[in-house]
Amino acid sequence: MEVMSAMKDGFVVDWDIIDTLWDHAF
């Protein structure tokens, strides 16, 4: 999943990607 590729050691490293994914997810 794209979300996992944007995370490292449990920390989000690219908030832009996460924000965009959340936007489309909901």
How many other β-carbons are positioned within 10 Å of the β-carbon of residue 9? 5
Residues 3, 12: Cα–Cα separation, whole Å: 9
Confidence tier at 4 by pLDDT (50, 70, 90): low
- Domain residue limits, the chain: 1-26
DSSP state of 14: -
DSSP state of 19: H
CA distance to 10, 24, 26, per residue, from 16 (Å): 16, 13, 16
Predicted TM-score (pTM) of this structure: 0.34
Higher pLDDT, 12 or 14: 14
